Amino acid sequence: MYPTDTEQILKAYEEAKRVYRGFGVDTDEALRQFREIPISLHCWQGDDVQGFEQLGDVASQNLVTGSYGGAARNARELRQDIDMAFSLSPCRHRVNLHSMYAEPKTPTPRNELTAEDFQNWIDWAKEQGYGLDFNASFFTHPMMVDGFSLASRRKDVRDYWIKAGIGARAISTEIGRQLGTVCVNNIWIPDGLKDIPANRLLYREYLKDSLDQIFALRQDRQYVVDVLEGKLFGIGVESFTVGSHEFYLAYAAKNHVGVCMDTGHYHPTESVVDKLSSVALLVDDLMLHISRGIRWDSDHVLIQCDDLTSLMQEMKRGGFFGKIAMGLDYFDASINRVAAWVIGLRAAGKGMLTALLEPSHLLEQAEAAGDYTTRLALMEEFKNLPINAVWNALCLQTGVPVNTEWLTSLKQYEQAVQSKR
């Protein structure tokens, strides 16, 4: 740990401004843009994707490792933890909800939930100035029969989840209406098979029909946009995933809905960076779920790394900031859960700021002139620009801890609040 020297931070920022100005970059403008770009924080990190339904012994489609103490036990504690995480990050904040985090007055089936069951979340978000995004929870439920929901062979199972999907869109619309900001409604299902299926087409016909019914009623895009999240494979569905990337991309392009691209849902040799510009040209809406996969979709806590920096640079170079929604998606119970949020938020923020400060116009000029030597040389030199001085100034301006001071605040919160759970 090292203390904050305000005078030294401001002095370093003035020097950084001078350096960036030499490359034609206005750091004050970059900071202004940064404050306008929201990142949606995934609520499910705070309680290990448990939710509040009390369904008993139900098989989960999510693998969370670790047993660190202090997990949120109810919605009040979860919101308290999210507030704490946000107080330690300079990013503009949204919260990504799942339907399993509803707070109905009486026990309510997941496919009968309404916006009223999320009113506490809406009121809290309105009071705190947060936006909300939404997901129907198509997993960890007795009606996940043999691991299938919208693509189940059983019509009663499909009908249950179709109703849940329709309800989620109505909930999202009301969230957007009350908060005055567009709510992104995401659909991800774990449907698939461990071994080789006898008939792949059958399941995808079921999924297409289910989605057609869910999207039959047009919702007001002023309040909600819909996205579909594909995946290459998962544990227990190694051979066949019904909602593949190709299926959802084709469905979205044909039916004018959006796509959610999770950075962990592809083969390790694939890069979402190269896919962004292709998909953005073809679909109406696009959301990123930013994660850190290690050899597979392991959902490790997001950290500063080349993959994250490249993703944010592509967002900046393509003019996608403000057009493509961004959310974090990982879970780790081996460390303090609030710290996991903060580490990921600050990493995403640093990646975003690095991209906003990049003298991209000089790279474009060199490429347009066919001077690829200069382009590559500048890309390397830009990696050493004084981003950290600008980041520290941003933290100072927004009233959040600078450097490692956030960890001191987190440890105090852990001792005073989380350790008593």
Q: Average pLDDT, stretch 163-169?
A: 98
Is 407's pLDDT higher than 80? yes
Q: What is the pLDDT of residue 59?
A: 53
Is 193's pLDDT higher than 90? yes
Q: Considering the chain, what percentage of its residues have pLDDT values greater than 70? A: 97
Q: What is the pLDDT of residue 54?
A: 72
Q: Where residue 121 falls among pLDDT bands split at 50, 70, 90?
A: very high
Q: Where residue 235 falls among pLDDT bands split at 50, 70, 90?
A: confident
Where are the domains positioned within the chain?
1-25+360-416, 38-357
| pLDDT tens-digit readout, 92-117 | 999 999 999 999 999 999 999 999 99
| pTM to 2 decimal places | 0.96
CB atoms within 10 A of CB 256: 12
CB atoms within 10 A of CB 171: 26
Task: Tell me the catalytic residues.
Answer: 188, 229, 231, 262, 265, 289, 297, 299, 329
CA distance 413 to 129: 22
Match domain 38-357 to its CATH number in 3.40.50.1100, 3.20.20.150, 3.40.30.10, 3.40.140.10.
Answer: 3.20.20.150
Is 310's pLDDT higher than 90? yes
Q: Average pLDDT, stretch 304-329?
A: 97
Burial label for 340, CB within 10 Å (0-12, 13-18, 19+), is buried
CB atoms within 10 A of CB 113: 21
Longest dimension (CA), the chain: 69
Is 291's pLDDT higher than 90? yes
| pLDDT tens-digit readout, 326-337 | 999 999 999 999
**Structural contact between residues 189 and 228, judged by C-beta atoms closer than 8 angstroms:** no
DSSP secondary structure letter of residue 237: B
- Give the DSSP per-residue string, 27-73: HHHHHHHHHH-EEEEEGGGGTTS--S----S---S-------S----
Is 56's pLDDT higher than 70? no
Give the DSSP H/E element, type plus range, for residue 288.
strand 286-290
**Structural contact between residues 124 and 174, judged by C-beta atoms closer than 8 angstroms:** no
Q: What is the pLDDT of residue 63?
A: 63
| pLDDT tens-digit readout, 201-231 | 999 999 999 999 999 999 999 999 999 999 9
